[in-house]
Amino acid sequence: MAPRNAAIHKDDILSTEGRDPENLIACPGCGEALSGQDEHMFDAERFGLLRCSCSEYPLIAGIPVIVRGPLADSNCDSERLCTLIRAGEHKQALIEALAPRQKAPKPHQLTRLLPSAVAARARSAQLRDFRTKWRHQFEMLCQDESPGSAIRLIRHYFGERYNAANYFSFRAGQPKYLITLALSQLTNAADWKLDVGCGAGHITRILNNSQSPGNAVGLDRNFFLLWLANTRVAPDARFVCCDVEQGLPFGDSVFDFALLSNFYHFIYQKRLMLAELKRVGHANTVVVISSLRNRNVITPTPNLALSPEGYQSLVDEQFEASRMISESALLEQTVLKASNELPPAERPDALKDEPMINLILTNSAEFSTTDNLESENDGAVYRINPLYRRRPDTRGNVAAFEARWPSEQYLEDNPELRAYLRDEIELPADIISALDQHEYVSEMEPLVREGVLVDLPASY
Ligand SMILES: C[S@@+](CC[C@H](N)C(=O)[O-])C[C@H]1O[C@@H](n2cnc3c(N)ncnc32)[C@H](O)[C@@H]1O
């Protein structure tokens, strides 16, 4: 992209104290910066309470939980977490925030024959047992730092929700993911970046600049995913737990770039979200909404997608300039042809049957059509995409790997994968040894572009 910050220096536009990590978080209700923030607040061993005039919020393992009432996908609520923190029971607070929502297990045949009060007691004992077992296994998994351990934690958390587990386990390297990475180049390394609905932080990791760690902030309502991001996937970035339906928990004019990847079609408050993105950004901020579902195309995962025209009219209320591009045009141009040029804008009516679209939004007068997607992969640590397993019959100086698709639904959600990712790859010994030593050599470049090598920590 054209040098967006050439004409206006950040300090000229940002009178805000919000860029200072000690004042980053503001209450979405009253707008006050929360007291209790300090420069080490995002460290994974930090617990505490953050306050404003109207509310008190828990800080759990370096993640501010800006929630009143129940946490999403969980059985616990923020009042309980505050009580545990006040009592100094930090580990208990962490475990309760992490455990997935559990329904009472199906009653045992014999339990059905018991009087209802006895049956209820039996069921709650069953649930207690289940939770104790969950916690015990979880604590064992936390001690494991070997390759594949993050994936084992994801599987343990999601249990029988295999599609969600596969999504987060094998996120890196998908064509949709590579397109989002290409669009993430529309920001400068030193910019402050917000990743809204960041999940387990795969993309927050890429947005975070190793030269100024912490300038990428990931936000999600699922505490477990954020904890995984903060401890395993992107420990140098910062993470905040919040449901965006209530607004964004930041002061004004904080961010230079915001990303919403595979996210905007899941929320109801779409108009509020765009107004909030404008508020937490400034005149030169670029917002990328990638992998956005189209209401005209039915998909297996339920969502609240709009038509391309619907998105366009919401965007026009808040942003001066926007560019809508089909997923297929971006796949062709940035991934298959490896071009650094952004494809041209497409009209909403031309995208009526396109399963996924991408939006680039800004209020900057410098927004142009000659934008360049140059990649800056400083600090990346590459490893082989976990979708590939090493073949046992590998011999000599070359290591052979084959792709294993986790499920049919995974392939249905990522139909481009079959055409795009090679079923089998062979890597020479010098690449394997560079990977083992966390070194980058130029021969890796095409493998990174194809999603064979992905930027993930060794224990992922
Ligand atoms: C499909 S995942 C996308 C994750 C990530 N952006 C990516 O591209 O891999 C959608 C994420 O949005 C989060 N989410 C959904 N509704 C939300 C809300 N109202 N507020 C905050 N996060 C939400 C979910 O917890 C989930 O992690």
Residue 265 CA to ligand 1 center (angstroms) comes to 10
Q: To the nearest 5 percent, what fractions of the chain are helix, strand and coil?
A: 35, 15, 45
- Amino acid occupying residue 401: F
| Ligand 1 atom nearest residue 268's Cα | 19
- Please name every residue paired with 50 in a beta bridge, in sequence order, or none if there are none: 57
Q: How wide is the angle at C-alpha 101 spanned by C-alphas 458 and 147, nearest 5°?
A: 10
Contacts of residue 66, Cβ cutoff 8 Å, sequence gap at least 6: 25, 27, 28, 50, 57, 240, 241, 242, 249
Residue 166 CA to ligand 1 center (angstroms) comes to 15
Pairing state between β 193-196 and 216-220: parallel
Report the predicted TM-score, pTM, of the whole model to 2 decimal places: 0.92
CA nearest ligand 1 atom 13, residue: 197
Q: Could you tell me the residue ranges of all domains in the chain?
A: 111-158, 168-362, 382-455
DSSP H helices in 116-161:
116-142, 149-158
CA nearest ligand 1 atom 25, residue: 222
CA nearest ligand 1 atom 11, residue: 197
Burial of 93 (0-12, 13-18, 19+ CB in 10 A): buried
pLDDT for the residue 419:
80
Residue 291 CA to ligand 1 center (angstroms) comes to 12
pLDDT for the residue 381:
87
Q: Determine the residue of 181, 206, 220 to mutate for testing ligand 1's pocket, defined as the one with the most ligand atoms within 8 A of the Cβ atom.
A: 220
Q: What is the spatial distance between Cα 8 and Cα 207, in angstroms, rounded to a whole number?
A: 22
pLDDT for the residue 6:
35
The token pair at 451 is 């999603």
Q: Determine the residue of 161, 166, 221, 273 to mutate for testing ligand 1's pocket, defined as the one with the most ligand atoms within 8 A of the Cβ atom.
A: 221
Residue 8 CA to ligand 1 center (angstroms) comes to 33
Which class is 168-362 in CATH?
alpha beta
Evaluate whether 169 touches 155 at the Cβ level (below 8 Å).
Answer: yes
Residue 244 CA to ligand 1 center (angstroms) comes to 10
Q: Render each residue's pLDDT in the chain as its tens digit; 460 residues.
A: 333 333 333 344 344 456 787 889 999 999 999 999 998 999 999 999 999 999 999 999 999 999 999 999 999 999 999 999 999 999 999 999 999 998 766 666 666 677 778 878 888 888 888 889 999 999 999 999 898 999 999 999 999 999 999 999 999 989 899 999 999 988 888 889 999 999 999 999 999 977 777 899 999 999 999 999 999 999 999 999 999 999 999 999 999 999 999 999 999 999 999 999 999 999 999 999 999 999 999 888 899 999 999 999 999 999 999 999 999 999 988 888 878 888 999 999 999 999 999 999 999 877 664 456 665 556 788 999 999 999 887 777 889 999 999 998 888 888 888 888 889 999 998 999 999 998 999 999 889 988 999 999 888 9
Q: Which helix (H) or strand (E) holds 327?
A: helix 327-330
The token pair at 344 is 């041209």
Residue 267 CA to ligand 1 center (angstroms) comes to 9
Pocket of ligand 1 (CB under 6 A): 171, 197-199, 202-203, 220-222, 225, 243-245, 261-263, 266-267
On the CB side of 334, CA atoms within 13 Å amount to 30
Show the beta-strand stretches assigned E in 270-353.
286-293, 321-326
pLDDT for the residue 110:
67
3-state secondary structure of 261: strand
Cα–Cα separations (whole angstroms), residue 358 to 91, 145, 193, 199, 413: 41, 36, 18, 19, 17
Q: What is the DSSP secondary-structure string of 155-196? A: HHHHTT-HHHHHHHHT-TT-HHHHHHHHHGGGS-TTS-EEEE
Residue 391 CA to ligand 1 center (angstroms) comes to 34
Residue 164 CA to ligand 1 center (angstroms) comes to 11
pLDDT for the residue 3:
35
Q: What is the spatial distance between Cα 127 and Cα 110, in angstroms, rounded to a whole number?
A: 16
CA nearest ligand 1 atom 27, residue: 199
The token pair at 106 is 């199906």
Q: Which residues of 321-349 are buried (b: 16+ CB within 10 A; e: fewer)?
A: bbbbbbbbbbbebbbeeeeeebbeebebe
CA nearest ligand 1 atom 3, residue: 262
